[in-house]
Amino acid sequence: MVTGKTCTMYCVEREILDEQRLEELSRRLDSSQTHTLFSHRLKNSLRCSIPKLKRTVVGFLPVLYWLPHYSVWDYGMPDLISGISVGIMHLPQGMAYALLASLPPVFGLYSSFYPALVYFFFGSSRHISIGTFTILSIMVGSVTERLAPDENFLIVNKTSGIEEVDITARDLYRVQVAAATTVLGGSIQVILGLMQFGFVGTYLSEPLVRAYTSAAAAHAVLAQLKTIFGVSPARFSGPLSMVYVSTLVDVCGLLPNTHLPTLVVSVLSIVILITAKELNNRCRKKLQVPIPVELIVIVVGTLISFYAHLNETYEISVVGKIPSGIQPPTMPNASIFPEVVVDAFALAIVGYAISVSLGKTFALKHGYKIDSSQELVALGLSNAVGGFFQCYSVCASMSRSLIQETTGGRTQMAGIASSVIVLVTMMKLGSLFQELPKAVLAAIVFVNLKGMFKQYTDIVTLWRRNKIDLVVWLVTWVSTLLLNLDMGLAASISFAMLTVIFRTQSPRYSVLGHLPGTELYLDLESHREVKEVPGITIFRSSATIYFANAELYLEALKEKSGLDITKMITYKRRQEAKQRKRDRRAARRAKRQAKRQTPNNSWVYLKGTDPETTTLGSMSDLQDGDITTLGCSSEDTLSRDLERISLGSLGKWTWDIHSIILDLSTANFIDTVALKTLRNVTFLSSWFIQVCIDISYLMCSYWTHQWMCSFCVAFTPAPVVEQLEQGGFFSDITKERLFTTVHDAVLYCINLRGDGTLPNYDIKVVGFTVLTCPHNYME
């Protein structure tokens, strides 16, 4: 009662739950039962049945799941309109992106046709459009130019006697390089997908991908400058090619030789495309189907070029001969595989990451799921099969996928409709684009990169939100620019992994306190209302303990709690050495006494009394400073003094802390180094406690009553408990010291100390039953 007011206390009674008690309650399976359960699951997985076979087949061919239920009345017209819109986009983008891959434009059309058909059967996403993509085209172009540079195909013109590039032979070999890289990359994707490695794309974080695509866009712009200005710079490839180079330096040097008619065509195309796209964006709510600006520009450009004879009159470079029909499948050149295996792996990972991120975005929006591993298989088969038909690496395109989704596409039937548009173009209309100026295709590439240029605003955003992600962004961008696309990707991923390691190496260490009225324990430094539990140190790391931060964990534990493991180990070794020396000395004395046939003289007696008349008495009858031993030399007395000094130097915790609790709630695994660290802490703590009690009993008897130390581990996840069991951790302490919550560990320590209550604290323990009482409140 408080004067004029009432005080109410709410108490909840429950028992303290440690790991051993929890196992009794939950009946956790032991190792033999777990092995039996695993064997049972293995037998079930190998057992064949009709329903299981059906699930497996449908999982591998998702088209069998939705096609039998396909409604032509509901989905037919939206898919048809969407497919035609996407097919119209395939034509200009396929031909333009083929230039980025340093291939003839017709191979861009091939890459827009075959992979989309394969994905129809194996893909689980309903909205992404598979085909050529800017980034992959640039990556393929870096491979083809590295293995088939112009200087390898120089021939002497018999008429003029001047060296010139054999374009036919060069393009033929570049197609072989692109096809071999695509087949190998697709095979890697299929293997990873069958092994359920669909998670590999998660290693490409969003800042990394955006920086990588921004740098790749810079590569694409530099690659198109020669076509836009109508110049012929020297081509370089490989690491640091942009430094001594290259395209940028050479193009700047060749600006006085700019081909003006080509520049005029490029500028006009860029202006028209930008203006039309902006109008499209502003009127997109009013337009059910976006205006195919790129196709219109291509058609108009081809007509003007054909009737104005731009190639003959103004020497404007055009696409040239486009073969009609489809090509028969051919085997890839296997001798190229060893030279492109790294590039193929990079293409496989980047293409998958882009596709699965788009697929998950649309799946979340429309309420269905995609299988990441199946997407990896589908994309791999699309590339592998396409490679046999001289396609180059493909993935989902953001622009075409958005068109497919916004125009009403419901299923991959839209992909079939777009493939029909591409097929008709290849069979009958391809030859009509022979007079298309390449400058128009370069302008299309340049304008389509506008969205990637906007990603440079990420620098400002990341500066405000996360400095480490900003560093990842900048390192990825710089490494991709300087080291080229393949090595740049490897360097970027390596650096991103290093940032994770660095962050786990330097986590936040904190000492927790109790939040009154709850069972919560929070950081004392971050929360004002939290109170320190008297005599108990609760230590937590924000990251899991493993080999890279185990030593730092001990250092932080020393700093936060005063527990100096290093000194304890030194002290332990010193005491063991002294004990061995005492044992040897005692053995020698015993041997000498045995020879003299005299009784053992290690009687404890009071100073100043006759050892012949003194009898053994209770140690409690002796006063401090009056205890000695017969046969004890001055060296033994000095050793005890050193021991006493060592006790005082081991940290303040030995004086005012009776319990230490390690909160392992953030741990998701325990390796051997972390296990050894925890074992050292627990073993040395328990050993040191015993040493302190023994020594304090000899030196200062009241210490024995003041010292009551316990070591506990709290809030340990079940997988970590299993790893602790396998590592023999519970040979040092019992599971009674492992608790499900920090609160249970605190209550155990209070109960072990023997105090039913702590002064000015709101936790009470009654036997093994806990009363958790919140603060009293005034009414």
Predicted confidence (pLDDT) per residue in 255-314, tens digit: 888 999 999 999 999 999 999 888 888 887 777 777 888 889 999 999 999 999 999 888
Give the pLDDT band (50/70/90) at residue 775. very low
pLDDT at 756: 46
pLDDT digits (tens, 9 = 90+) for 168-221: 899 999 999 999 999 999 999 999 999 888 777 777 888 998 898 888 888 888
pLDDT at 621: 42
pLDDT at 191: 94
Distance CA 620, CA 149 (A): 95
Q: How many CB atoms lie within 10 A of CB 78?
A: 16
Average pLDDT over residues 23-28: 58
Average pLDDT over residues 598-612: 44
DSSP bridge pairs for 8? 777
Distances in Å between the alpha carbon of 210 and those of 129, 455, 470, 494, 495?
20, 7, 11, 16, 15
Query: Per-residue pLDDT for 108 more than 90?
Result: yes
In the numeric block, the tokens 């958005």 are attached to: 402
pLDDT at 158: 77
Half-sphere exposure for 217 (CA within 13 Å, toward CB): 19
In the numeric block, the tokens 């404890």 are attached to: 604
Percent with pLDDT over 90 in the chain = 26
pLDDT at 48: 72
Half-sphere exposure for 477 (CA within 13 Å, toward CB): 19
Query: Per-residue pLDDT for 691 more than 70?
Result: no
431-435, 458-462, 595-599, 605-609: range with lowest mean pLDDT: 605-609
Give the pLDDT band (50/70/90) at residue 379. very high
In the numeric block, the tokens 């598979």 are attached to: 130
Relative orientation angle of helices 458-465 and 467-505, to the nearest 10 degrees: 40
In the numeric block, the tokens 């931060």 are attached to: 549
The listed range with the strongest mean pLDDT (292-296, 313-317, 380-384, 515-519) is: 380-384
Distance CA 471, CA 183 (A): 35
Query: Per-residue pLDDT for 416 more than 80?
Result: yes
pLDDT at 4: 38
DSSP bridge pairs for 627? 606
pLDDT at 580: 85
pLDDT at 667: 84
50-54, 490-494, 752-756: range with lowest mean pLDDT: 752-756
pLDDT at 764: 44
Helices and strands (H and E) in the chain: how many: 29, 15
pTM over 0.75? The answer is: no
Are 776 and 9 contacting, i.e. CB atoms less than 8 angstroms apart? Answer: yes
Half-sphere exposure for 150 (CA within 13 Å, toward CB): 10
Half-sphere exposure for 284 (CA within 13 Å, toward CB): 11
Query: Per-residue pLDDT for 664 more than 90?
Result: no
pLDDT digits (tens, 9 = 90+) for 72-105: 898 999 999 899 989 988 998 999 899 889 999 9
Average pLDDT over residues 313-335: 88
Give the pLDDT band (50/70/90) at residue 734. confident
pLDDT at 242: 63
Distances in Å between the alpha carbon of 98 and those of 85, 175, 326?
20, 11, 17
Q: Can you spell out the DSSP letters for 2-42?
A: BTTB-EE---EEEE--BHHHHHHHHT---HHHHHHHHHHHH
pLDDT digits (tens, 9 = 90+) for 419-457: 999 999 998 888 888 899 999 998 988 888 888 888 899
Question: Max CA-CA distance within the chain?
Answer: 133
pLDDT at 14: 61
Percent with pLDDT over 70 in the chain = 75
Give the pLDDT band (50/70/90) at residue 50. confident
